Amino acid sequence: QVQLVEFGGGLVQAGGSLRLSCAASGGALSTYAMGWFRQAPGKEREFVATINLSGAGTYYADFVKGRFTISRDNAKNTVYLQMNSLKPEDTAVYYCAAKKFGNILTPMVMDYWGKGTSVTVSS
């Protein structure tokens, strides 16, 4: 069992930036593919980005390409989501998730989830 805790959410104006962090404990994060998901008010949870075990491979939802960057520091057991050029439609609770030996080139059902951090982007 790995525990995930998200940090860095908050209130930001459109066009601004935020950096989310996901700190893991209870396991070696280097053995997990990692992902970020989000859920906007009144909407279903959706995929944002994933990163492979080493950090060399990433995959993004179309609506964040060129704006968001997922990265990881396995030595610190931490995954990041750098969010630039934020839009009001990015407003959501953002969740960190992990998949043991996950392959980001195939569909994944994530094994572990954080409780989320709230991001609000004002117009």
Q: For residue range 56-108, list pLDDT tens digits in order.
A: 999 999 999 999 999 999 999 999 999 999 999 999 999 999 999 999 988 88
- Look at residues 64, 82, 63, 74 and name the one whose alpha carbon lies nearest to residue 29: 74
Using pLDDT thresholds of 50, 70 and 90, give the confidence band for residue 1: confident
Query: Where does 1-123 have alpha helices with state H?
Result: none
Mean residue pLDDT across the chain? 96
Q: Which pLDDT band, with edges at 50, 70 and 90, does 8 fall under?
A: very high
